[in-house]
Amino acid sequence: MPVLRCFLPLLPTYAEGRALMAASSILSCSFPETDIAVLTINDPDKGANVLSPPVLEELAAQLDQLEARDDLAGLVICSGKPGNYIAGADLRQFVAWIDAPAEQITEFCRLGQQLFQRLAASRFVTVAAIDGVCLGGGAELALWCDRRILTSNSKTQYGFPEVKVGLYPGWGGTARTPRIVGLSNAVEMITSGESISPADAYAMGLATDVVEPEALEAAAIGLIRSEHQSGAYLKDRERWAAPIEISDTELGFLGATASSFIQGKTKGNYPSPLVALEIMLGCAGTDVQAACEAEAEQFPQVFGSPVNRSLLNVFFLQDRNKKDTGVAQDEVAVAPIKSVSVIGAGVMGQGIAAANVRRKIPATITDTSREALAAGVSKVLDEVSYNREIKGPDVKKAVEMAPAVNGSTSLEEVAASDLVIEAVVERLEVKQQVYAGLEPLMRPDAILASNTSTIPITTLAEGLARPEQFVGIHFFNPVRKMPLVEIIRGQQTSDATIASAVAYAKAIGKTPVVVGDGPGFLVNRLLLPYMNESLELVCEGASIREVEQAAKAFGMPMGPITLFDVVGIDVALFAGAVMHEAFPERIVASRLLQAMHAEGRLGQKSGAGFFSYQGTKKGRGKPDPETDRIIETCRTATGSFTAESLQMRMFLPMLLEATRVIEAGLVRDPRDVDLGLIFGIGFPPFKGGLLAWADTLGAEQVVAALEPFQEVGPRYQPTQMLLDMAQQGGKFYD
């Protein structure tokens, strides 16, 4: 099929892909039986198989050869990488089309559809033998096969994550899925972007069988023989090419409920799930070919959109982070962390210990209070044994996990671990007292870390015998939900310690960002100006409701006033004091926060903060007249604000502080700022990150936006970095 040869010409920067294919083939074809072909995908240059233009070209060539034969009973498509089938399309290559004309993007979708449709129209039975991750374009390739067999491997999963980068399946996924598993199942899979397990795939009819990995090829061959005898695959080909059998009433109900659910989840900020829903509902009454055409024609609506570009940026931030060792040197000895001790059995200590146990790393936890220790160990076991189905701890799982949790009051036992993380109260003298008793008992090669969120690592390291093996490992609360971990380098922290801490954070499923030492480190240093400004706005006349709505309309997961109550007003007051002491010219000591603290209103934990939590469910606050009374005592003006002016007042100080962090060299790359804020405070991914958002405005426009606020104070004074960018037309992202 010569039309498939258009894949590479559409990407001239990858024209050399043909030469690479000749030198190293990614697809290999074998014949375990004379009439059975097994096509194996195994990219020798990548850890995971992906569908790049060269791979698609090679697939077309392989099908050309197989279709020329008239003696084949079946084709099995499998992977040569255990635990990985196809992880989707190669986004680094396909992103080269992002500025292509709409008609070219549509044609690209049609080409992919035409290639995969050959699997459903061949003279032989086609079976996708799936072991491991099968996502995106890989899931669509498997979808166009007559049958799919999945293994029981714990790594095996099947899904369409395209909405997570602002897209939807564009190679027949929205057309073929609802005809195989039903419209309701397809809507849930495609619009949520979540993967399903082999058991779920089998239950909904997506998988014909689930087998052990070692039995996969034999099961696929057996299935081909069975299908030839029954002819069932031919009937399914006809059924899956036809319109979907669903009444108008059912279709209307599904559309209304799904649309409402998606709107509630996305708040209208992520358009691709709704576009995919409209395509699937609108094409339910058409044949699969018409559905494919609608899918292709609508694809330019999402591909290259601002949200798609932003989410792709987030994807590449994560991809870069996975490969980043945390240090500039190529080869640094990384100490393997096989055991961890946590000092402090409070909320943070419990969360850190649970994060380790969940990843099969034994954790010892200790506390000066035996009662707190016993409660901490119990909470750790409850967390690691939580079962979503029963919505509570699973006794059997708790018994299995129990040996990995060790509650101890023996300092020698605590000191025996590869890594010891201190998570005690935020007081310098208390932490240094812990280190003084602990460090002499630790092995010479062990690492000591602090979970501090405010105290400089260099200050904490004073008096240590091995400051080069001391590092900040700052988890965010709640640990089980927050992916970010700040790895903080003190003045004497070694590269080996940093690299080991980064590797450890990744091993427990976290996203580490290496930052330099200083007040607030990275995330809190940028977060506090935003939160602080929200209180100043309230004192200047904005209502709490207006401030909250403006922040959430921008895309923040919660308003800044609510965040004060969640963090704790006492904690925020202490952190603000640290920042005010370090940067008094631009960090205002909030009178309102001090007044709330003086009244004993500490937030959710005390039942009242800026909101009242008495008699509310799940920590949901309600307006409190007492808060209004306190605000009046701190009122400095009675101004009125638009939603846009509120947003600029809150987010511009955050942006300016980010430029200061970059100027000071506290991050190794500006991209770390965006990664840290997205995964540390929930900065809206659909904006791509704080700096990516600033780039959409342009530095010149940002400087202009700051001008009306100059009278507010020095915190709105543009930095030299920003002024230079505005003058030169520079961007944070090259």
pLDDT at 323 (0 to 100): 92
Quote the CA–CA distance of 656 and 526 in Å, as a whole number. Answer: 9
Query: Any idea where the domains of the chain sit in the sequence?
Result: 2-304, 340-517, 524-728
- Strand bridging mode 27-33 / 36-41: antiparallel
Q: How confident is the model at residue 360 (pLDDT cuts 50, 70, 90)?
A: very high
Average pLDDT of span 544-556: 97
Average pLDDT of span 206-223: 97
% of the chain residues with pLDDT over 70: 97
Phi-psi region of 518 (alpha: psi -120 to 50; beta: other; left: phi over 0): left
Q: Where are the beta strands (DSSP E) in 263-418?
A: 340-343, 363-366, 386-387, 392-393, 405-407
By three-state DSSP, how is residue 367 classified?
coil
In a 10 Å sphere around its CB, with 0-12 CB exposed, 13-18 middle and 19+ buried, how is residue 651 labelled? buried
Read off the pTM. 0.90
Specify the residue for token string 């004060």. Answer: 564
Is 580 catalytic? The answer is: no
Quote the CA–CA distance of 662 and 659 in Å, as a whole number. Answer: 5
Average pLDDT of span 608-625: 89
pLDDT at 617 (0 to 100): 77
Q: Any bridge partners for residue 36, and if so which?
A: 33, 74
Q: Is the predicted pLDDT of residue 272 greater than 60, yes or no?
A: yes
Q: Is the predicted pLDDT of residue 6 greater than 70, yes or no?
A: no
User: DSSP assignment of 625-642, as one string?
Assistant: HHHHHHHHHT--------
Q: Where are the beta strands (DSSP E) in 172-236?
A: 209-211
* Cα 173 versus chain centre, distance: 23
**How many angstroms separate the Cα of 487 from the Cα of each of 27, 278, 491, 493, 506?**
41, 44, 13, 11, 11
Quote the CA–CA distance of 131 and 634 in Å, as a whole number. Answer: 63
Q: How confident is the model at residue 454 (pLDDT cuts 50, 70, 90)?
A: confident
Q: Is the predicted pLDDT of residue 262 greater than 70, yes or no?
A: yes
Phi-psi region of 123 (alpha: psi -120 to 50; beta: other; left: phi over 0): alpha
In a 10 Å sphere around its CB, with 0-12 CB exposed, 13-18 middle and 19+ buried, how is residue 479 labelled? buried
pLDDT at 394 (0 to 100): 79
Shortest CA distance to 302 belongs to which of 167, 421, 435, 137? 167
In a 10 Å sphere around its CB, with 0-12 CB exposed, 13-18 middle and 19+ buried, how is residue 89 labelled? buried
Specify the residue for token string 């494919």. Answer: 292
The first and second tokens of residue 130, run together, are 């799936």
512-537 pLDDT, tens digit each = 999 999 989 999 999 999 999 999 99
426-452 pLDDT, tens digit each = 899 999 999 999 999 999 999 999 999
Phi-psi region of 231 (alpha: psi -120 to 50; beta: other; left: phi over 0): left
Shortest CA distance to 439 belongs to which of 459, 413, 465, 421? 465
Quote the CA–CA distance of 422 and 416 in Å, as a whole number. Answer: 14
Quote the CA–CA distance of 483 and 510 in Å, as a whole number. Answer: 5
Specify the residue for token string 């970095």. Answer: 721
CATH of domain 340-517: 3.40.50.720
Cβ atoms within 10 A of the Cβ of 585, count?
10
Q: What is the CA radius of gyration of the chain?
A: 28
Average pLDDT of span 651-663: 97
The first and second tokens of residue 366, run together, are 């200790």
Quote the CA–CA distance of 596 and 439 in Å, as a whole number. Answer: 40
Secondary-structure class of domain 2-304 per CATH: alpha beta
Task: Give residue 114's identity as a one-letter amino acid code.
Answer: Q
pLDDT at 387 (0 to 100): 81
487-504 burial, b if ≥16 CB within 10 A, otherwise e?
Answer: bbbbeebbbbbbbbbbbb
**How many angstroms separate the Cα of 469 from the Cα of each of 315, 362, 460, 491, 495?**
32, 21, 12, 11, 9
pLDDT at 260 (0 to 100): 95
DSSP state of 651: H
pLDDT at 16 (0 to 100): 38
pLDDT at 97 (0 to 100): 86
Q: Is the predicted pLDDT of residue 293 greater than 70, yes or no?
A: yes
CATH of domain 524-728: 1.10.1040.50
144-155 pLDDT, tens digit each = 999 999 999 999
Query: Choosing from 228, 474, 580, 597, which is the catalytic residue?
Result: 474
Q: Is the predicted pLDDT of residue 255 greater than 90, yes or no?
A: yes
pLDDT at 142 (0 to 100): 98
